[in-house]
Amino acid sequence: MSSNVFGVSKRVSLTLAAASAALALAACGSSGGSTGSSAGAAGTPVRGGTLTFAINSDGTCLDPHQSPADVDGFFARSIVDSLVALSDDGTISPWLATSWTVSPDQKTYSFVLRDDVTFSNGEKFDGAAVKANLDHIVAPATKSQLAAGTIATYTGTTVKDPTHVEVHFSAPNSAFLPSLATAYLGIEAPSTLTKPPSELCSKIVGSGPFISSGGYVKGKGIDYVRNAKYNWAPKNAKHTGPAYLDTLSIRSLPEDSSRYGALTSGQIDAIASVPPVNVAQLKSTPGFRIQTAAAPGGNYNYYPNTAKGPFADVKVREAFRAGIDWATIVDKLYFGVFPPGKGPLSPATVGYDTSIESAYRYDAAKANQLLDQAGWTGRDAQGYRTKDGKRLTVVHPFLKQFAREQRDVVADQVQAAAKQIGIEVKTTNPEYTSYIKDVAAGNYDLIDFSWQRASPDALRTLFGSANIPKDGFGTNGSRLSDPALDKDFTDALGTTDLTKQAALYGDAQQRITSAAAVFPIYVFNYVLGSSTKVQGLRFEPQAFPLFYDAWTSK
Amino acid sequence: MTIALAADERRGGGRAASSARSIGLAVLRRVGYAVGVLWGAVTVTFAALHLKSGGIIDAIIGQAAVSPEIRAQIISDYALDKPWLVQYFDYLGHLLRGDLGHSYNQGMDVTTAIGDQLAPSFELMAAGVVLALVGAIVVALLTANRPRWIRGPFAFLEIVGVSVPAFWFAILLLTVFSFQLHWFPAIGSNSLRGLVLPAIALAVAPGGTLAQVLRDGLERALDEPFVTTARSRGIRETAVLVRHALRHALMPAITIAGWLAGAFLGGAIVIENVFSRQGLGTLTVGGLGRRDFPLVSGVALIAAAFYVVINLIIDAVYPLLDPRLRPAAPTTSGPANAAAASITSTTSPSVSATGADQKGDR
């Protein structure tokens, strides 16, 4: 659910250089594409020990009900538990709820809850706590910028008894359980939810494996101690009982070289976002290890405006897709750390359709042929194609100040490559609010962002006609409006059967590909570097490293 | 005798009253000036963030998918639907009551947000300023009018210090002294040891400028006839430098201190980032990008107050260094005054308090 458009954890760090921008935790990764060995498979876990972890972004508000930032969900994950847990393959496991059923009309979810769970402030977890949390998320006063949107059709919770609740929706929402599994819908101690939202921004209380009494301190990070009473780990965890680590510290180190140096000099145990240029070096350094996990959901993609301008012509879109050697640009820039995208979704997403990949191959001859067919046959003095005396120009508003992972370099190279096939890409660097305004009004030909999310429902977010930008930013950047596509999405929301979902989302990926409504750039990989004494760190499907099973050897 | 004493006291009292009045006026002028600067800072910030195209609400929500109800809630909570003039005066009203408002994006009160970051920022600035001052004075004293082989390398280093980006220099310090030698921590800004490298990185550029200005001033002062006189009286060279020439050389250095304060503020942002220190820098940059007016305005207020204080200090220091800038003081009113006056009387015609003020106001 990391809604991470520019990867920037929302309002967080636009620190000076793009360097910081960060995001690390951006939404990242699912072990679906995990290439790292399961670190920590070796040896018997040791209790005790401490772990200091450095990330490249800074939080905004610790309360996941309020904040949309990836980093905040990551901070909160160790403190709050969820009703259910999501696995890499898209299946749901019990956590605070031991079982659940969905009504035939898909509008009511009934949960059976554990009765042995207490929050770290001593409160007991029960049905009323579930209701208090869901109600808190959707309350306008909470001003939730992400969580509320994932349960937009929520109508209320009925508490049958302390261990039985029913959650009601006004429309089928098969993405509810995967959403419920994220930290954003995590369960906080009900008595704390009556506090003003600003207090929850620095301190939250949950039932999770770690407790943070000091809470989040801006510019510094967050410190946790183990919850010694913890005995309700999710079914997909590697062990039960309390966490292995005594204490856990997460520090914000936005500057890449500082973070990397702090790791290699032994000052911290593990870091997020190893700079791509350092990955090979760290791999070959004894005593260190790299773990990567591909983020599910939308890749970092470019989206053409299919509603107006040159890209309204599908031939021009196809030509742009075929005429630029995207894979080479990405491979050269990221040293293979981020693989090139080959479709609207990341391969780590459940329901990813490999059959569409061939459509995204580089073929300059085909591109030129398509442009000729589209009528862009003239050439002007600079070598750009023209039609009726008008140059083939596409405008690409690009927020340079938010650029991370050298996306500005990508933009420059795309511009140069497009010139080879006679297309002029005008990259502008607008101010943030005028960017939002232009996106809302459709005044662009090309926009870029990444949209990570653990479920293939990301496709609906990215290509559903309801999400075409109107009042403000919208996630359907290509402004695609296809009733057949919308029907796929609605049908998929109406079934919790993963096989049926896969067929529907597969069809959607085919349609999006034949409409040439996306130019995939790269798959975001969560690149975690650590000392080899850190064991058992693994990724949750959504993206974040999990510390519950982690331990450190002496 | 009693009568004489009483009369004396009366006279003293009268003098005290008149000087209190003039001091009172000067203080009042100062306060008025400070308030004006602070008001200007807030107003310019307000104009800069509100008169740009695009709604602040769009900057707050950004790319988040929020329902119309939540959008409306945010607008009403932050009164973004009111005319901007109303917002402006509302803000000033709150400010007068000491309320800096609620940050749009940080989920907390501005007072809290800034309060958390103020101390680390202040520590860094104070350490940087002290280091730059001490370093520059020592280097200037050691190298002024020295042979080329002493003076040259230092002058070169100063130029390097001024020209090398603080960012790069900070990384270099980290790499050598933290990552390689393990002398100082790269993280953990709360310890004194953690302050050393950031303070050096911050001090180097302004320190280089200061050292050049100081040496230039020293060398000019050493050419003055009064130095020859002092030497002819048999005063040692060190004493000539420290007691006589330095005082003259400090004047231009103090004058650029206001500009240097800006260099420190700007440099701190970079340094905080590289060393992952808590501080106002990152907070401000983040706030600016998202047009978080209450936060940015709060920081602007702090920065403006900082400038006001620096200028006050500069004004206070001028007369200490240059007796010509001191107000005429009566010669008989007390031991402390007498001491000050004895210096004054030896040098020059007095300059009024107002005169000193004006000098400081530029």
* Residue A114 DSSP one-character state: -
Residues A415, A419, A424: CA angle, nearest 5 degrees: 70
Quick one: angle between helices B257-274 and B246-255, nearest 10? 70
The residue whose two tokens read 């959650």 is A167
Query: Are the beta carbons of A325 and A417 closer than 8 angstroms?
Result: yes
Closest residue, chain B, to A471 (C-alpha): B58
pLDDT of residue B81: 84
Same domain for B81 and B118, yes or no, is no
Q: Which two tokens stand for residue A326?
A: 């995207």
Say whether both B200 and B295 belong to one domain. yes
CB atoms within 10 A of CB A11: 27
Percent of chain A with pLDDT over 90: 68
- Say how many residues make up chain B: 362
- Rounded to an integer, what distance in angstroms lies between the CA atom of residue A227 and that of residue A78? 10
**pLDDT(B133) > 50:** yes
Distance from CA of B110 to the nearest CA of A (A): 11
The one-letter code for the residue type at A544 is F
For residue B184, pLDDT over 80 is answered with yes
**Closest by alpha carbon to A222, among A207, A204, A236?**
A204
Q: Residues B251, B297: one domain?
A: yes
For residue B149, the number of C-alpha atoms closer than 13 Å in the C-beta half-sphere is 0
**How many angstroms separate the CA atoms of A391 and A401, rounded?**
29
- If DSSP codes are grouped into helix, strand and coil, which group holds residue A530? strand
pLDDT (tens digit, 9 = 90+) per residue, A266-275? 999 999 989 8
φ, ψ for residue A188, nearest 5 deg: -100, 160
**Contact by Cβ (8 Å): B82, B90:** yes
pTM of the predicted protein model: 0.81
Question: What is the distance between the alpha carbons of residues B326 and A411, in angstroms, rounded to a whole number?
Answer: 62
pLDDT for A65-98, tens place per residue? 998 888 899 999 999 999 999 988 888 999 999 9
Instruction: Indicate whether B83 belongs to any domain.
Output: yes
Distance CA A522, CA A33 (A): 13
Per-residue pLDDT tens digits for A115-126: 999 999 999 999
Residue B190 pLDDT more than 80?
no
Q: Which residue of A has its CA nearest to B114?
A: A218
- Amino acid present at B209: T
Question: Model confidence at A8, in pLDDT bands (50, 70, 90)?
Answer: very low
What sign does the dihedral A333-A337-A340-A341 (CA atoms) show? negative
Does pLDDT of B359 surpass 50? Answer: no
Q: Tell me how far apart the alpha carbons of residues A529 and A284 are, in angstroms, rounded to a whole number.
A: 12
| Confidence at B334, pLDDT banded by 50, 70, 90 | very low
Greatest extent of chain B over all pairs of C-alpha atoms, in Å? 88
The reply to whether B246 falls in a domain is yes
Rounded distance, CA A202 to CA A216, Å? 5
Q: Which two tokens stand for residue B305?
A: 């107050």
Does B267 lie in the same domain as B204? yes
The answer to whether B56 contacts chain A (CB < 8 Å) is yes
Asked if A255's CB is within 8 angstroms of B276's CB, the reply is yes
Measured distance CA(A154)–CA(A175) in Å, rounded: 12
User: Above 60 in pLDDT, residue A383?
Assistant: yes
Which residue matches tokens 């939404």?
Answer: A27
Helix ranges (H only) for chain B are 2-50, 56-61, 68-77, 84-96, 110-143, 148-163, 166-173, 193-222, 225-232, 237-239, 246-255, 257-274, 280-289, 293-321, 335-347, 353-361
Query: How much is the pLDDT for B232?
Result: 87
Position A184 scores a pLDDT of: 94
Probe site for chain B from A53, A62, A142, A145 (most B CB atoms < 10 A)? A145
The count of structural domains within chain B is: 3
**In B223-334, alpha helices (H):** 225-232, 237-239, 246-255, 257-274, 280-289, 293-321
Residue B45 lies in a domain: yes
Q: Does B338 fall in a domain?
A: no
- Pairing outcome for strands A385-387 and A378-379: antiparallel
Nearest-5° Cα angle at A267, A264 to A270: 65
Q: How far apart are CA A483 and CA A477, in angstroms?
A: 17
What pLDDT, on a 0 to 100 scale, did the predictor assign at position A332? 92
Closest alpha carbon to A507 in A344, A360, A358, A348: A344
What CATH code is carried by the domain that includes residue B149? 1.10.3720.10
Q: Is A288 a residue whose pLDDT tops 60? A: yes
Is B340 part of any domain? Answer: no
In a domain, B2, yes or no: no
Closest Cα in chain B, distance from residue A198 (Å): 5
Helix, strand, coil abundance in chain A, percent, nearest 5: 30, 20, 45
Residues B59 and B43 both lie in one domain: no
Does one domain contain both B211 and B262? yes
pLDDT at A473 over 90: no
A 10 A CB-CB count for A142 gives: 20
Overall average pLDDT of the A427-456 stretch: 88
Mutate: best of A12, A433, A447, partner B, most B CBs <10 A: A433
Q: Tell me the nearest-neighbour CA distance from B63 into chain A, angstroms.
A: 5
Strand partners for A247? A50, A225
The residue with greater pLDDT, B145 or A525, is A525
Report pLDDT for A57. Answer: 84
pLDDT band at B238 (very low <50, low <70, confident <90, very high): confident
State which of A3-17, A290-304, B157-171, B228-242 shows the largest mean pLDDT: A290-304
Q: What is the pLDDT of residue B73?
A: 85
Whether residue B42 is found in the same domain as residue B62: no
Nearest to B105 among A11, A16, A433 (CB): A11
Q: Is B116 touching A (CB cutoff 8 A)? A: yes
Q: Which chain B residues are closer than 8 Å to A140 by Cβ?
A: 69-70, 72-73
CB A233 within 8 A of CB A239: yes
What are the C-alpha distances in Å from A139 to residues A143, A360, B109? 7, 44, 21
Is residue A42 very low, low, confident or very high in pLDDT (cuts 50, 70, 90)?
Answer: low
Q: In this structure, are B140 and B82 located in the same domain?
A: no
> 3-state SS of B206-219?
HHHHHHHHHHHHHH
> What is the β-pairing status of strands A84-86 and A92-94?
antiparallel
DSSP bridge pairs for A270: A53, A530
State how beta strands A50-55 and A270-271 pair.
Answer: parallel
State which of B99, B134, B163 marks the end of a domain: B99
What residues have CB less than 8 Å from B232, skipping those under 6 apart?
Answer: none
pLDDT surpassing 60 at residue B345: no
* A377: enclosing H helix or E strand: none
Judge if B271 and B184 occupy the same domain: yes
Site from A55, A255, A460 to mutate, B interface, most B CB atoms within 10 angstroms: A255
Report yes or no: A348 and A294 within 8 Å, Cβ to Cβ. yes
Residue B102's pLDDT is 87
A489, A494, A495, A496 alpha-carbon torsion, rounded to 10°: 100
Q: With contacts defined as CB-CB under 8 Å, which chain B residues touch A13?
A: 282, 286
In terms of CA atoms, which chain A residue is nearest residue B109? A198
Residue type, A79: I
Is the Cβ of B123 closer than 8 Å to some Cβ of chain A?
Answer: no
Phi, psi of A143 (to 5 degrees): 50, 45
Q: Please give the residue that has the higher pLDDT: either A381 or B352.
A: A381
Average pLDDT estimate for B167-187: 88
**DSSP one-letter code for A122:** S
DSSP state of A295: P
Is the pLDDT assigned to residue A482 strictly greater than 90?
Answer: yes
The predicted-structure confidence for A240-268, as pLDDT tens digits, reads as follows 999 999 999 999 888 888 899 999 999 99
Q: What integer is the mean pLDDT of A204-217?
A: 95
| Residues B313, B174 within the same domain | yes
Q: Distance between CA B87 and CA B92 in Å, rounded?
A: 9
Size of interface A-B (CB pairs under 8 A): 194
Confidence of residue B166 (pLDDT cuts 50, 70, 90): confident
Range of the domain at B28: 12-51
Q: What is the mean pLDDT of chain A?
A: 88
B346 lies in a domain? no
* Local confidence band at A374 (pLDDT 50, 70, 90 cut-offs): very high
Closest in B61, B269, B272 to A145, CB measured: B61
DSSP B174: I
Do residues A292 and A534 lie in contact, with contact meaning Cβ atoms separated by under 8 Å? Answer: no
pLDDT band at A370; cut points 50, 70, 90 = very high
For residue range A169-194, list pLDDT tens digits in order: 999 988 899 999 999 999 999 999 99
pLDDT at B349: 38
Instruction: Spell out which residues of chain A touch residue B174, defining contact as CB-CB under 8 Å.
Output: 257-258, 261
Element (H, E) at A149: helix A147-150
Q: What is the mean pLDDT of residues B187-204?
A: 84
CA distance B80 to chain A (A): 15
Per the CB < 8 Å rule, is A218 touching B59?
no
First to last CA, chain A: 36
B62 shares a domain with B20: no
Q: What are the structure tokens assigned to A487, written together?
A: 């029907």
pLDDT value at position A34?
A: 39
Residue A289 near residue A529, CB atoms below 8 Å: yes
Calculate the average pLDDT of chain B.
79
B21-75: per-residue pLDDT in tens? 787 888 888 888 888 989 999 999 888 888 766 677 887 887 777 778 888 888 8
What six digits make up the tokens of A370? 């398509």
Task: Please check the confidence at residue A102 and state whether its pLDDT lies above 80.
Answer: yes
Q: Are residues B148 and B213 in the same domain?
A: yes
The Cβ of residue A213 has, within 10 Å, a number of other Cβ atoms equal to 10
* CB burial readout B183-210, b (16+ within 10 A) else e: ebbbbbbeeeebbbbbbbbbbbbbbbbb
Tokens representing B341 are 């006056």
Instruction: Answer yes or no: is pLDDT of B125 > 50.
Output: yes
Whether B264 and B129 have beta carbons less than 8 Å apart is answered as yes
Q: Would you state the pLDDT for residue B15?
A: 59
pLDDT score at A498: 85
Instruction: Compare CB distances from B63 to A5, A54, A259 and report the shortest one's residue.
Output: A5
Evaluate whether residue B341 is within a structural domain: no
